[in-house]
Structure 1
């Protein structure tokens, strides 16, 4: 008669260096049961992440505008342009835009065509994590635990349903981790080269952040691969070459393609991709020298926007200190919004890393469990350390990059302690993992004490009771299933806090540049700063144009919002920060003279980020024009945000040359008919 275990782990007590098919798999139905379990996990993940995904609308309109542009123009798709006219790119490489733009080309651009591929990336990441953990642990149930832990991590539930490039980057990082595990099993050059190539594309998703897993993967292979050290070094060099080739081709395209016939590379100071890599999106971001882009310091308007977003986050998640005021150091990932997004299993994962290394201290050099601990634990510590000590603008959702590492390391720790359950070390280690998870979940939920207060107490009681019971020496064979049941209940209780927050995250609409996890905020905001307010009159006006760019406006977020509302290409002066040195006044005048730009627009809130001044729509005659021009100049040179005064010469020329008109909450200058 077939029986089914209730444990999240297999009951085998030894993990061979190169695992074959587990005996439990043969006993309980073999591969068919494993495939069914994996299918159930992936289907559940897909349903959870796809459920009502269009509630997020266009998500971050900055990246949505680029996805829309890619669905309209192949050149825009290649470079990740913000607009089909290919004036300027987004400030990240284009891999994420390739996926969303191609989906828009195939299915027609919409919220669903843009966001569904992001959710499917979550399914793929869960599958890869399952595969990697199962191979090193020789346990189907441990793979399921790792995959479920990743799927139920709140930051994953947030960002794999959003349109930022983080989802594509993390999927590629996880693919590199899986390929490294495959390479470790049999010293496979092919799999190691594939890992390097995958990291190359992770770099093209979000530059240096995509390479944060590289040290851990290289160290694990150098230590544990079952072949001579000289061969390992040569193989790692081959993987490095593959990584450089997978990323370098795009860099060469940007260098060889004439700058005059491709979009400006946003965020760079000289239209050079490597300047963007090493500056704005590289070391400058880590060292805190990229505030506002291009190395400029933030303006009062920038500070106010960030503080406003932080205030909304703090109202729901006490402890968040704002983009510039977050605590810097090891406690960052455990506090404020970071804690809610990634902190649930992080203490237990760190403990698991230590426990596995100690438990495997006398294992052979090629031991896969220890190698996996180096992969996932090293990934978590190195990447997490960089996130913790970054001085620049750090969004909490950046911590998605360590979500697979935390989930995988936690599962490996539980598995290792289960296999050592007949020893005091194993029992106490497992009990400690359960207790730490439960206590820390209680602490996190206590910070949002008004939200289902009974949940935190239930988690605390169940995990502590389970920890105590598991610490009892269940040495008799008849007690094995009882011990398995206790461990299973404890693990499920430990995951329930993160799961509840993930469910609340999925049930809440998110948009803008600072989405947060958890239940909806009282004021209904979900990080919506950076969104352009609807202006039906302006939309109708832009839809009547047939020029290359229907309008020009300060900043990429405003331009993207106008594009999404009107379906027309809009020139983003100064890029995302407003400080990119494009266009020059002479270039702008040439485009106006050639009839390529229909209107110049000044939004009432400068960059469409909420609040701001409104114009007096009753002004008439010369006095009215003078006042509107003065207001426009002030909005453009001051309240525009990051790039204060960077392109004031364009504003001064437009306001001195053209007549303003009020269109909804915007001041509009008709640029048609201009002659020198």
Structure 2
């Protein structure tokens, strides 16, 4: 086996270790999605729609594509945390391999190997590939689309083959849409521009092919939406929507609300603002802004404390590479079309995604930025190779990256502060070796660029699991745990631990055991006000039917008051876990959610805590 093949094998092995080592100790990952995978195994409709609960009352707030492989994995290996996370690690390694193959066609073997290494070592990518959020599969589909586009613009490709590769790219983006909806479409302008720039076909054919790809994109994106909204039989309410339709979920909660900040991300999302005077409201608003929203929107968002250590390590260098390419392209008009298209593809991917992420006014989590990692990796890989032909080129990239690394590292000097001096030494060595051959200077420069993010990635892979698996981050914990910020009402709903790391607390176990023993065989063992995020522990740790009222955060209009009354009347539901104040009332997002809990308080009686041994929870019995 040749040296490049050995090098690629080593990089893939490194990625596999970073993404999979010790995943059995990471528990259930994001318990919201993991609970759904258990419920989805209970029936075809629940599987098809992505139902959070076994009763098929409400779905998760995303399409089910990313959850289907996790469900299949549990069918094969049993319902374990590592079985949920294993597909993520596989998808992550596959993305590294596909990126290598894509960049190799465009910029050569050395650039491809470096791009693969950069992607493997990106801190937020390491963390999200060890978790079960949908972004891992989204990135794989998008890198696959980039590969197909790159194949379609190769100089010696036949016209028919080019068209087929273009259509495949559109199909893969559509698969990404059914993984995380409109987040997949952000790269479409870059893909289209790369094809139009790189293709050697007549312009008429280019336009025709692009229109055909647009049709494939729409069909592959919207088939699940159409299936859901045209489904003739009973189906779960679509979580996060305002009217129970998947189309509304696309346009609203997972669409314009993410960009424009409509209500903090939609009816099923976290509230963007907390009412004035509400207990703990000021702290809650700060947490929502920094942890849930990634800080304030603006050009500096990708570099702030929430994002900087996750994705920005090589971002300044990537932008410098793009600027250098733009200047060089004006001087050299003889660059082959497919090579120009590669810069358009990856530069467009980075700029469009980066701008959308920077200015998004709705819910925005730091792990979303893993979608930037393939573009940064490709630009750095090709950029370092190109910089070797420029005097002090590699040294300049190394110094720029090392300088920014110092800023990021010393935001938390007590956490691996020794990294700073090492980065400085490596940068100095890179500069001092400017007279040495490229085979010497380039590795030293790359080491200076990758050392700091590599430390963050290795620490994430071999260190303790993140405090909040729903919002995983690499590096030092930048905020106190959310439960310390929440008012007493939130603890009453869940028995003292609202972050729901996956294990039942003693209080929750007592509630569940009591409800199971006293429910008289009711179809629904327990209803939980506060939504799926509050009910996840109960679903994960029992074979019982437990419903989280109101979707993800408890404010969706499902189940309705009439449904709850019908369940109680027919003996299908007897116990409801709730607080004195519902989440809908706490956040002033009422409607059906407030009416639901008003009905419970008016028609059910509080179970004395001494009967089940509770101390903080409030359990209602309905007859």
Same fold (TM over 0.5): yes
Equivalent runs, 1:54-93 vs 2, <5 Å: 54-93=24-63
Deviations 1:356-408 (A, max 9, x none): 33334424474333211111111011001000011112111111111111111
586-595 or 109-118: which moved more?
Answer: 586-595
Find the residue that maps to 1:436 and give its secondary structure. helix
Q: Which of 465, 468, 474 in structure 2 is aligned with 1:509?
A: 465
Counterpart of 1:668 in structure 2 is 619
Counterpart of 1:549 in structure 2 is 524
Find the residue that maps to 1:669 and give its secondary structure. strand
Find the residue that maps to 1:378 and give its secondary structure. helix
Equivalent runs, 1:325-340 vs 2, <5 Å: 326-340=295-309
Equivalent runs, 1:286-301 vs 2, <5 Å: 286-291=259-264, 293-294=266-267, 298-300=273-275
Q: Structure 1 residues 518 and 306, CA, compared in 2 at 3 Å: closer, same or farther?
A: farther
Counterpart of 2:454 in structure 1 is 499
Unaligned runs of 5+ in 1: 1-30, 314-319, 473-478, 603-631
Q: Structure 1 residues 253 and 231, CA, compared in 2 at 3 Å: closer, same or farther?
A: same
Q: Structure 1 residues 375 and 40, CA, compared in 2 at 3 Å: closer, same or farther?
A: same
Counterpart of 1:206 in structure 2 is 180
C-alpha displacement at 1:569, in angstroms? 2.2
Contact 1:356 1:370 in 2 (8 A): no
> Could you tell me how far apart the structure 1 residues matched to 2:325 and 2:516 are?
61
Find the residue that maps to 2:119 and give its secondary structure. helix
> Could you tell me how far apart the structure 1 residues matched to 2:145 and 2:282 are?
34
> Could you tell me how far apart the structure 1 residues matched to 2:265 and 2:590 are?
9
C-alpha displacement at 1:328, in angstroms? 2.0
Counterpart of 2:594 in structure 1 is 648
Counterpart of 2:489 in structure 1 is none
Unaligned runs of 5+ in 2: 485-496
> Could you tell me how far apart the structure 1 residues matched to 2:203 and 2:11 are?
39
Counterpart of 2:395 in structure 1 is 431
1:108 to 2:108 alignment: no
Find the residue that maps to 1:571 and give its secondary structure. strand
> Could you tell me how far apart the structure 2 residues matched to 1:239 and 1:525 are?
44
Counterpart of 1:17 in structure 2 is none
TM-score, normalised on structure 1? 0.82
> Could you tell me how far apart the structure 1 residues matched to 2:214 and 2:97 are?
25
Deviations 1:487-533 (A, max 9, x none): 11110121010000111122121234332211467978899963275
> Could you tell me how far apart the structure 1 residues matched to 2:568 and 2:95 are?
47
Counterpart of 1:219 in structure 2 is 193
Find the residue that maps to 1:572 and give its secondary structure. strand
> Could you tell me how far apart the structure 2 residues matched to 1:125 and 1:152 are?
13
> Could you tell me how far apart the structure 2 residues matched to 1:521 and 1:326 are?
12
1:276 to 2:249 alignment: yes
Contact 1:265 1:271 in 2 (8 A): yes
Contact 1:216 1:379 in 2 (8 A): yes
Equivalent runs, 1:619-638 vs 2, <5 Å: 632-635=579-582, 638=585
Counterpart of 2:328 in structure 1 is 359
Q: Which of 119, 123, 126 in structure 1 is aligned with 2:93?
A: 123
Contact 1:520 1:526 in 2 (8 A): no
Give me the CA root mean square deviation: 2.7
Equivalent runs, 1:191-270 vs 2, <5 Å: 191-258=165-232, 261-270=234-243
Q: Structure 1 residues 401 and 297, CA, compared in 2 at 3 Å: closer, same or farther?
A: closer
C-alpha displacement at 1:465, in angstroms? 3.4
Q: Structure 1 residues 108 and 462, CA, compared in 2 at 3 Å: closer, same or farther?
A: same
Q: Structure 1 residues 306 and 518, CA, compared in 2 at 3 Å: closer, same or farther?
A: farther
> Could you tell me how far apart the structure 2 residues matched to 1:177 and 1:598 are?
53
Counterpart of 1:412 in structure 2 is 382
C-alpha displacement at 1:309, in angstroms? 9.7
For the pair shown, which has the larger CA radius of gyration, 1 or 2?
A: 1
Counterpart of 2:492 in structure 1 is none
Q: Which of 585, 592, 595 in structure 1 is aligned with 2:568?
A: 592
Find the residue that maps to 2:433 and give its secondary structure. helix
Contact 2:274 2:281 in 1 (8 A): no
Counterpart of 2:535 in structure 1 is 559
Q: Structure 1 residues 94 and 364, CA, compared in 2 at 3 Å: closer, same or farther?
A: farther
TM-score, normalised on structure 2? 0.88
Equivalent runs, 1:133-212 vs 2, <5 Å: 133-139=103-109, 141-185=110-154, 186=157, 188-212=162-186
C-alpha displacement at 1:667, in angstroms? 2.1
Q: Structure 1 residues 119 and 73, CA, compared in 2 at 3 Å: closer, same or farther?
A: same
> Could you tell me how far apart the structure 2 residues matched to 1:499 and 1:399 are?
17
Counterpart of 1:571 in structure 2 is 547
Instruction: Give the length in aligned residue pairs.
Output: 588
Q: Structure 1 residues 56 and 184, CA, compared in 2 at 3 Å: closer, same or farther?
A: same
